Amino acid sequence: MISHLVILWTDALIFLLLVLALAFGIYASRKPHLRRPWGLVVRSRVGVGTLVVLVFYLIVGLLDSIHFHPLSETSDAAGKASRSSEVISLFDSMVSGLRARQEKTYSAPLATHLYAKESIELADGSTIRDFPRLEHGGSHLSDPGQKPADLVRLSAIGILKGLAVSMVAANCLIILLAVAARSNFGNQAKAVLTASTEIPWRVVLVVLSIMLVLIFWSAELASGYHLLGTDKVGEDVLYQALKSIRTGLVIGTLTTLVMLPAAIMLGIMAGYFRGWVDDVIQYIYTTLNSIPGVLLIAAAILMLQIYMSNHAEEFNSLVERADLRLLFLCIILGVTSWTGLCRLLRGESMKLREVDYVQAATAFGVGHLQIIGRHILPNVLHIVLIAVVLDFSGLVLAEAVLSYVNIGVDPSMNSWGNMINSARLEMAREPIVWWSLAAAMIFMFTLVLSANLFSDVVRDAFDPRLHSSR
Amino acid sequence: MGEMLLKIKNLKTRLGDADNPVYAVDGVDIEVRRGEIFALLGESGCGKSMTALSAMRLLPPSGCIVEGEAFLEQTSLLDLPEREMRRVRGGSMGMIFQEPMTSLNAVITIGDQIGEAVRLHDPDNRENVSRRVIELLRSVGIPDPERRTLEYPHQLSGGMKQRVMIAIALAGKPRLLIADEPTTALDVTIQAQVLSLLKELQRRTGMAVLLITHDLGVVSEVADRVAVMYAGQIIELAESRTFFRQPLHPYSRKLFRSLPSLSKRGQELAVIEGSVPRLNQCFNRCRFLERCDQAQDICAQQEPGWSETAMGGGVRCHLFSALPGPLTRPEKVLMEKQQEIQKPAGSLLEVEGLRVHFPIHKGLLKRIVGHVRAVDDLSLSIARGRTLALVGESGCGKTTAGKGILQLIRPTAGSVRFDGEELTNLPAGKLRSRRADMQIIFQDPVASMNPRMLVGEIILEGMQAQRIGANRVQRQARVKDLLDQVGLPADAAERYPNEFSGGQRQRICIARALAVDPRFIVCDEPTSALDVSVQAQVLNLLKELQQQRDLSYLFITHNISVVSYLAHEVAVMYLGRIVERGSVEEVLQAPRHPYTQALLSAVPEIDRLQQRSVIRLEGDMPSPANPPRGCHFHPRCNQAIDRCRSDYPKPVRLSPTRSVSCFRVDQG
């Protein structure tokens, strides 16, 4: 199936970020001062619960970040499969059903008929104006009246499947835990279920089961219907919402990747060296801060748009074009958002440079670079981490806002912001089309809420001031 | 007297959750009588503050009282509903804390802050709050109280703030004042003021004071009765006078012997080995067992009970009946005997006219509008293998002087010659290689080590920077050697600093400094953050290392007893300048400068054999940003003459080692 990988810019960066995160994880696991707070995070019930939700989002995002040209089904004369110019992701091919089942226009969630009346030619040759049957949604039913029974049946199958899978997952987990703890299965199961384990595995299992049941239930329903309806051009809204996950994650994470080096380097330099270095850096970020961020973003995106329309031939596909715009958006968001962290780090380094151990290092004749690398950076790392996690949900929301005012991602790219943007007209329509907006809200809300709860836990775990009171 | 005011019975306070309990207070019985000053003495972490907080029901969220009773007269404090308790706090019981800087709200005038307490707890004076506020301020000895009521906390000095805190505590006319280390954050001269104020208030108003402290000197100065706390328990209770004549518990006795003083020069200080046991365990033995040198079999088998002594005191020790008599004090040895053999004075460090000024920036363009003269014309010299103590109150520029000498802060002017080489104009590269010869040990053992690094890495850092040791193996071996020298196990290198106690951390800092084979070490108050028993360990170590390695120390401190124990020469600093300089015997025995005299008289002494009179210094040290004209000390000096107001006195040489900057001395 995968014939020719296409590595988009953002894909490459996402996997780079993944590698960096893994490397940091390995580094952190060797340093008790970093391992301990993470230990606190996974010992918190909210922490693990939200982590499970976030992992599901992450998996979808990562699957959606492996792009390739699919083999086209139409074979040419020589009988060889040819590559299509279309670029799809691994996720697309997994949910190809959702992608392929296009309707004509709007249809409500789980509907069997279109949302707009059309002239239908009846068998006897006469035409009437009515809601026509959908091409795919509920097409397996001979009579739309069977829908409720069919829904119940599909739901039951989906929920049972979900339960079965979560049982298997729970057992696997308990077996793994039992092996790790060198106890037998029964004891371990008891420990997990009575929540007497150090890491709240019961919460993990509960959240995991809920997610699995939801997924299987919706998969089952989505196989026969449009679970969240279709949009104006008849595309499945569930598919759009799922595709938007990647966009949200890319914005939330890549932006920090762009911003971190500048923020860390400049912040520490300003705080450590003081003097004219401090003056210059402060001047830069004060200036940058006083330009309205939205204006800067709008200007940059408009410039990029003009460039892209003038050099259309440089882009192989629409996807690549949209991707470049996404990357650019990340960069420009990063440029406007590094100042906050930079300021924090400047203050902290200013404090640290006067601390006795830095003075002691100076008294040993240790060089500046080494002092920064050995004493300052490790001691501000927790601030960086807290800032990154806290910024994430803000950036996801920022994307939605920017797309809403049309300076966000490319209109052809699926994103919650674009969905909300199109909902602007749909809400004004009579009867209103609410499901696009609702779908975007549900997915975004879940992600942002879990990210916020998770970042709260992370901040609590890393904030040294909160430990003394425990 | 004699009537019971506060009675705490078998109090047990737990910190942390039930699974991992720490019994910070473990069965404490205290009785404070009406109108007495009762001192609760103990090292840090022994539970003395927790006892007071339990009685006030002000425990941190993780703490709870498990068992016991507390009565204020007839009222059972632990059974009162929170509403009633709020009336007791600040009403019948006032409390003052250690840190006056953080106890006051920075954005409310002190008049309002005291007024709030008056309004809450003094129903008689609700009509004329402002009059009462002024009355209170006057009673705590704040001059010009009418004007002060309108000032904000930052406009007051540390001593003044503590007085304001006392005034707030007095607003409810308490019968009991709990003072939690009220003078620990203050300088000795200010401490003397606050202590005498407390004593006077107690005498005048007849309130009782529960004084929590770690300082034996403070106890002997003011307390009527004293209870010694150790590991969550009271281990000894006695009349103050009896206690100082004849401490009974082995721990108390050792405390006395570990205090540095002039009479102990040349000897090693007694050391209480080890540290306070962790309180998260069950004790079925004496808590002092591991550190006691008189321990017997029974001490390891059961916890000692409380034995009453003849004079209403008591002690918690199995060996009670066998405990020895009065503490034998070493006679005041004559100075001649103390004089050590004068070493050939090859001067290692020569400082002349050192000035460190910090510019004050103001306004939009950050123009320099003045200078903080932290160190202003400082000259001193230190010989090989000798110790010069730099003494002074906080803010006088001692630490800045130390850092200026080491070129950690580049001096504004003056010369620092180390071993004949001028350091002030040495280029950065050369200075870097010179740094191996000069090291520094800091005051705060917590802040002086990077918490993210292993102890081994910390000690290695200097060696790597100075390229000492040819390879990794050699350096590692050296780390082990150094740890051994400062009395730590070799496996300490693989651990993190936070796994060590304060004293052990200070040893690691010493090992780190020694790693580069320095010849001169600036010790910046290395023992002031440590408990007495641990302080003795560190002082012994420093002294031993000096003898072994012929080290020179610049010992920056405000603790006179440490000076008299360790130093060869003393320089007294006031507002950036040295006012008196000489050998320890000369300066401590017969101070000539009025400031030195006042400073020495303010030090609380344990020997109250001869009644000393404290020379009270009025006011506080002026700001080094605009020192007074003429002699810096004249506004506070009780011997000032006209000339002091116009000119700064030149140092007068009184002997080869001694010089004083004072006109009065000049006159004879």
A279-312 residue pLDDT tens: 999 999 999 888 888 888 889 888 988 888 888 8
Element (H, E) at B479: helix B472-485
Q: How far apart are CA A241 and CA B376, in angstroms?
A: 71
SS3 B459: helix
* Residue A31 at interface with chain B, using a CB cutoff of 8 Å: yes
In a domain, A114, yes or no: no
Q: How far apart are CA B56 and CA A103, in angstroms?
A: 74
pLDDT at A405: 81
B251-284 residue pLDDT tens: 888 888 888 877 777 778 888 877 778 777 778 8
Q: How far apart are CA B306 and CA B249, in angstroms?
A: 11
SS3 B285: coil
Strand stretches in A17-155, DSSP E? 67-75, 81-83, 88-89, 118-121, 127-130
CB atoms B451 and A33 under 8 Å: yes
Asked if residue B445 has a cis previous peptide bond (ω within 30° of 0), the answer is no
Q: What is the DSSP letter of A105?
A: S
Amino acid at B103: S
Amino acid at B249: H
B379-427 residue pLDDT tens: 888 998 899 999 988 878 888 999 999 998 889 999 999 988 898 888 8
Chain B residue set in contact with A, beta carbons under 8 Å: 60-62, 403, 406, 408, 431-436, 438-440, 442-444, 447-453, 458, 461-462, 465-466, 496, 509, 512, 516
CB atoms B442 and A364 under 8 Å: no
Query: Exposed, middle or buried by CB within 10 Å (0-12, 13-18, 19+), for A254?
Result: buried
Backbone angles phi, psi at B398, to 5 degrees: -60, -50
User: In which band, very low, low, confident or very high, does the pLDDT at A264 lie, cut at 50, 70 and 90?
Assistant: very high
Domain containing A252 equals 243-467
H and E: helices and strands count for chain B: 23, 24
Contacts of B61 in chain A (CB under 8 A): 469
Query: Are residues A218 and A249 both part of a single domain?
Result: no
Query: Are residues A156 and A287 both part of a single domain?
Result: no
Query: Bridge partners of B520?
Result: B438, B552
User: In which band, very low, low, confident or very high, does the pLDDT at A1 lie, cut at 50, 70 and 90?
Assistant: very low
pLDDT at B555: 94
User: In which band, very low, low, confident or very high, does the pLDDT at B2 lie, cut at 50, 70 and 90?
Assistant: low
Query: Are residues A289 and A331 both part of a single domain?
Result: yes
SS3 A338: helix
A210 has pLDDT over 80: yes
Q: How far is A298 from chain B (nearest CA, A)?
A: 34
Query: Are residues A193 and A310 both part of a single domain?
Result: no
Q: How far apart are CA B449 and CA B427, in angstroms?
A: 27
Instruction: Pick the residue of A356, A372, A466 with the most B CBs within 10 A to test the interface with B by mutation.
Output: A356
Residues B584 and B568: beta-carbon distance below 8 Å: yes
- Tell me the percentage of chain B whose pLDDT exceeds 90: 16
Query: Are residues A289 and A368 both part of a single domain?
Result: yes
B295-323 residue pLDDT tens: 888 888 888 888 888 777 888 888 877 66
B490-501 residue pLDDT tens: 888 888 888 888
A391 has pLDDT over 90: no
In a domain, A127, yes or no: no
Please report, for chain B, the start and end positions of each structural domain, with discontinuous segments joined by +. 4-81+212-322, 347-667
Query: Are residues A158 and A260 both part of a single domain?
Result: no
Centroid of chain to Cα A392: 10
In a domain, A16, yes or no: no
Query: For residue A41, what are the contacts with CB-CB under 8 A and spacing of at least 6?
Result: A47, A51, A457, A458, A461
Q: How far apart are CA A334 and CA A330, in angstroms?
A: 6
B158 has pLDDT over 50: yes
Q: How far apart are CA B272 and CA B256, in angstroms?
A: 11
Strand stretches in B535-624, DSSP E? 552-557, 569-574, 577-583
Query: For residue B462, what are the contacts with CB-CB under 8 A and spacing of at least 6?
Result: A364, A366, B436, B439, B468, B512, B513, B515, B516
Of A33, A355, A367, the CB nearest to B452: A33
B477 has pLDDT over 60: yes
Residues A149, A150, A155, A160, CA torsion sign: positive
How many domains in chain A?
Answer: 2
User: In which band, very low, low, confident or very high, does the pLDDT at B523 lie, cut at 50, 70 and 90?
Assistant: very high
pLDDT at B520: 93
Q: How many CB atoms lie within 10 A of CB B322?
A: 9
Q: How many CB atoms lie within 10 A of CB B108?
A: 13
Instruction: Give the HSE-up count for residue A395: Cα atoms under 13 Å, Cβ half-sphere.
Output: 30
Query: Are residues A330 and A407 both part of a single domain?
Result: yes
A420-438 residue pLDDT tens: 888 888 888 878 888 888 9
In a domain, A340, yes or no: yes
Query: Are residues A313 and A347 both part of a single domain?
Result: yes
Query: Look-up: residue for tokens 């705590």?
Result: B140
Lowest-confidence range among B56-60, B186-190, B325-329?
B325-329
Query: Are residues A289 and A199 both part of a single domain?
Result: no
pLDDT at A164: 94
Query: Bridge partners of B89?
Result: B93
B335 has pLDDT over 50: no
Topology (CATH level 3) of domain B347-667? Rossmann fold (3.40.50)
B56-87 residue pLDDT tens: 888 888 888 888 889 988 888 888 898 888 88
Angle of helix A275-290 versus helix A237-273 axis, rounded to 10: 150
The token pair that represents A281 in the structure block: 């850096």
User: In which band, very low, low, confident or very high, does the pLDDT at A144 lie, cut at 50, 70 and 90?
Assistant: confident
The token pair that represents A297 in the structure block: 């973003």
Rounded average pLDDT over A401-414: 84
CB atoms B466 and A364 under 8 Å: yes
Q: What is the DSSP letter of B277?
A: P
CB atoms B452 and A362 under 8 Å: no
Residues A214, A220, A221, A223, CA torsion sign: positive
Q: What is the DSSP letter of B519?
A: S
Query: For residue A78, what are the contacts with CB-CB under 8 A and spacing of at least 6?
Result: none
The token pair that represents B65 in the structure block: 């009282």
Q: How far apart are CA B344 and CA A61, in angstroms?
A: 78
Q: What is the DSSP letter of B321?
A: G
User: In which band, very low, low, confident or very high, does the pLDDT at B333 lie, cut at 50, 70 and 90?
Assistant: very low
Of A356, A469, A470, the CB nearest to B448: A356
A387-390, long-range: CB < 8 A, 24+ apart: A387/A340, A387/A341, A387/A344, A388/A256, A388/A260, A389/A451, A389/A454, A389/A455, A389/A458, A389/A459, A390/A455, A390/A459
In a domain, A92, yes or no: no
* Residue A470 at interface with chain B, using a CB cutoff of 8 Å: yes
In a domain, A80, yes or no: no
Query: Are residues A429 and A460 both part of a single domain?
Result: yes
Q: How far apart are CA A439 and CA A437, in angstroms?
A: 5
B575-626 residue pLDDT tens: 889 999 999 888 888 888 999 988 888 888 776 555 567 777 777 778 888 8
Query: Look-up: residue for tokens 């449009």?
Result: A226
Instruction: Pick the residue of B403, B410, B452 with the most A CBs within 10 A to test the interface with A by mutation.
Output: B452
Q: How far apart are CA B360 and CA B389, in angstroms?
A: 30
Residues B640 and B631: beta-carbon distance below 8 Å: yes
pLDDT at B337: 40
- pTM for the full predicted model: 0.80
Query: For residue A307, what are the contacts with CB-CB under 8 A and spacing of at least 6?
Result: none
Pairing outcome for strands B225-230 and B387-391: unpaired
- Tell me the percentage of chain A whose pLDDT exceeds 70: 95
Q: How far apart are CA A82 and CA A70, in angstroms?
A: 9
Query: For residue A328, what are the contacts with CB-CB under 8 A and spacing of at least 6?
Result: A300, A301, A304
Angle of helix A377-404 versus helix A318-353 axis, rounded to 10: 140
Q: How far apart are CA B624 and CA A442, in angstroms?
A: 63
Strand order in the sheet with B438-441: B438-441, B520-524, B552-557, B387-391, B569-574, B577-583, B658-660, B652-655
What does B520-539 look like in DSSP terms, one character per residue? Answer: EEEEESTTTTS-HHHHHHHH
Query: Which residues 314-373 of A have a C-beta within 8 angstroms of B?
Result: 355-357, 359-367, 370
**Last residue within a domain, chosen from A166, A196, A224:** A224
SS3 B454: coil
CATH class for domain B4-81+212-322? alpha beta
Predicted complex ipTM exceeds 0.90: no
Q: What is the DSSP letter of A373?
A: I
Pairing outcome for strands B413-418 and B387-391: unpaired
State the CATH number of the domain containing residue A340.
1.10.3720.10
A304 to each of A8, A396, A407, B253, B520, how far by Cα in Å?
Answer: 17, 21, 11, 81, 64
Q: How far apart are CA A136 and CA B62, in angstroms?
A: 61
Average pLDDT over chain B, rounded to an integer: 85
Query: Bridge partners of B315?
Result: B236, B307
A45-58 residue pLDDT tens: 899 999 999 999 99
In a domain, A68, yes or no: no
Query: Are residues A308 and A176 both part of a single domain?
Result: no
B39 has pLDDT over 90: yes
In a domain, A133, yes or no: no
Query: Are residues A216 and A299 both part of a single domain?
Result: no
User: In which band, very low, low, confident or very high, does the pLDDT at A72 lie, cut at 50, 70 and 90?
Assistant: low
Contacts of A370 in chain B (CB under 8 A): 465
- Tell me the percentage of chain B whose pLDDT exceeds 70: 95
Q: How far apart are CA A56 and CA B248, in angstroms?
A: 68
Of B406, B447, B509, the CB nearest to A355: B447
